[in-house]
Amino acid sequence: MSYIKAGTDAQGNDVKLFYTDQGTGSPVVLIHGWPLSHEMWDYQLAELPKHNLRVIAYDRRGFGKSSQTWTGYDYDTLAADLKAVLDELDLQHVTLVGFSMGGGEVARYMANYGGARVARVAFVSAVTPYLLKTDDNPDGVDQDVFDTMVENIDKDRADFLQTFGKQFYGVNLISHPVSQAHLDGDFARAYVASHKATVDCVRSFSETDFRNDLTQITVPTLIIHGDSDKTVPIESSGELTSNALPNATYIVYDGAPHGLFVTEKDRLNQDLLTFVQEGVTTREPLSTTTY
């Protein structure tokens, strides 16, 4: 298996990030969401490399096959981990694609490292610019929502993950956009993560303010969000990210839930291909497409 060293932990042990590297051509780095692993990108890893792209996906520390450190789940450390991936593989002119929590890594990397090695970025169902409701962020999500998530994880992580997975894809009594088999697979992917990482990342993605980070982004940018996202509501994220990046291409998937990388996999793959291969041409500010 392939690993990249991303520094050491508090005990001096190497922090190892598992990654997969598929195809040849222009590099695309996929950054997964919480509480999954790089395996969430199954449909993207199966398609994008067919189009002269080199597609890399890695497991965030604490998740998947990567090292389960006790600390290091703040975004400065996670952005440093992303830098380790880009540096070790010596990637140039990269497209960064951050899903949900992964959008935070994209934003913080661009701010902390001046966008080194990066040609363009994509935010998919991302937690940017600032998910938590505060006095100066009235469109955010109430603190109680995240406190309850942590309480339920601590009470019964397995039950929380199974319940959360249904919301993630918009599964209910009358709608089944993914199979039970897929939900079972996601549960297995999420349950191998450490309990500590699962909890700490809730605090990181909910409490980290990326508003200043977004002002540092000058490369072509794509924003994709579903308007039926109940996990990261579009009003608290996609809409505000597009406001912060008025020259970005903003695509709203009508009726799509949070996990649109599965439910809208063909649309997403095509939009990513168009973005990577053609780049972003001159568009009107706040260019918005609703499917």
Active site residues: 100, 229, 258
The pair of three-digit structure tokens given for residue 62, joined into one six-digit string: 């604490």
The pair of three-digit structure tokens given for residue 161, joined into one six-digit string: 């993950």
H runs (alpha helix) in 58-142:
75-88, 101-112
Ramachandran angles phi, psi of 12, nearest 5°: 85, 5
Virtual CA dihedral for 285, 277, 59, 251, nearest 10 degrees? 30
Bridging pattern class, strands 3-8 and 221-226: unpaired
User: CB 219: neighbour CB atoms within 10 A?
Assistant: 15
- Rg, C-alpha atoms of the chain: 17
129 Cβ partners below 8 Å, 6+ apart? 107, 209, 210, 211, 213, 214, 237, 240, 241, 244
Own/partner pairs for 77-83, CB < 8 Å, 24+ apart?
78/104, 78/105, 78/108, 78/204, 79/105, 79/108, 79/109, 79/112, 79/113, 80/6, 80/7, 80/112, 81/6, 81/15, 81/17, 81/105, 82/29, 82/31, 82/106, 82/109, 83/109, 83/113, 83/116
Q: Is residue 228 within 8 Å of residue 257, measured between CB atoms?
A: yes
- Distance of alpha carbon 190 from alpha carbon 188, whole angstroms: 5
